[in-house]
Amino acid sequence: METTSEENQEQSQEKKGCFECCIKCLGGVPYASLVATILCFSGVALFCGCGHVALTGTISILENHFSKITSDHAMLTDVIQLMQYVIYGIASFFFLYGIILLAEGFYTTSAVKELHSEFKTTICGRCISGMFVFLTYILGIAWLGVFGFSAVPVFLFYNMWSTCAAMRSPVANFTNVDSICVDVRQYGIIPWNATPGRACGSTLGDICNTSEFYLSYHLYIVACAGAGATVIALIHFLMILSANWAYLKDASHMHAYQDIKMKEEQELHDITSRSKECLNSYT
């Protein structure tokens, strides 16, 4: 019976130790950085993936319905291909940058959790945190521009879709449907001498009914939403990094204060010891 009770106590102690270890590990996880990283990855993935496919569909729509001559849209094709390559670079960069920011969050969380221990933050660590704050701020401003730019194709496709919806509406009363047109040349996408450059009436309705138009329109919407999510993630990262930098700075000041206090206590102890020695030798 005694052996059984001792074994039960040992098992309960082991379970308690494992539980405390798990709690300690979970306490060191930077949940804010983790949420921001997931949001950033999701936003960039949506923007890059949907944007890449939507650009391909846009080229197909222009070639089949608005610009029959290849030379008229050759420059636009080159620009779209360049944008697709840029999308590859953006995806790779933010995958790496998100992992680095998450690792920095783990580092800062460890520094704050061990504020009163032997862990010390270095000047290099604080400089790196400050550099991440500046870089994330620049990226946030850049992605605000990307978000605004991604809304442009959504606006263009929405104009076409709303025009087609107005023509199909039973309430609408048009004397001449063929007079209703969408001219993409006015947006600067293709030159003014492009043939035909615009779509009218039933031709426009047929374009809106194609799977390419439907898919590209909704993919542009999702890509714009992904860009917005990335902006929110970068703002979240910026707040986290600013707080982490402040925590590291406070930790550095705290350690400096503790070092000075320990030195003063050691000096006071040495003076007291010498005074006692002198008093004993005099006596």
Q: Is residue 270 part of a domain?
A: no
Q: Is residue 52 part of a domain?
A: yes
Per-residue pLDDT, 129: 76
| Local confidence band at 198 (pLDDT 50, 70, 90 cut-offs) | confident
| Local confidence band at 7 (pLDDT 50, 70, 90 cut-offs) | low
- Lookup: tokens for 155: 């606006």
| Gap between the Cα atoms of 21 and 200, Å rounded | 70
Q: Is residue 59 part of a domain?
A: yes
Asked if residue 71 has pLDDT above 70, the reply is yes
Q: Is residue 116 part of a domain?
A: yes
* Pick from 92-101, 185-194, 210-219: least confident: 185-194
| Gap between the Cα atoms of 281 and 283, Å rounded | 5
Per-residue pLDDT, 234: 92
Residues 94-109 have pLDDT tens digits of: 989 988 888 887 777 6
213 with 219: CB under 8 angstroms? Answer: no
Per-residue pLDDT, 144: 92
Q: Is residue 22 part of a domain?
A: no
Residues 132-190 have pLDDT tens digits of: 888 999 999 999 999 999 999 999 889 888 888 877 776 655 656 677 788 888 887 78
Whole domain around residue 125: which residue ranges? Answer: 32-248
Q: Is residue 6 part of a domain?
A: no
| Gap between the Cα atoms of 115 and 247, Å rounded | 10
Q: Is residue 20 part of a domain?
A: no
Say which residue, 234 or 194, is predicted with more confidence: 234
- Lookup: tokens for 17: 């130790």
Alpha helices, DSSP H only, in the chain? Answer: 2-27, 31-61, 74-113, 123-168, 201-208, 211-282
Per-residue pLDDT, 104: 80
| Local confidence band at 30 (pLDDT 50, 70, 90 cut-offs) | confident
Asked if residue 45 has pLDDT above 90, the reply is yes
Structurally, the chain folds into a number of domains equal to: 1
Average pLDDT, the chain: 77
Sign of CA dihedral 5, 7, 10, 14: negative
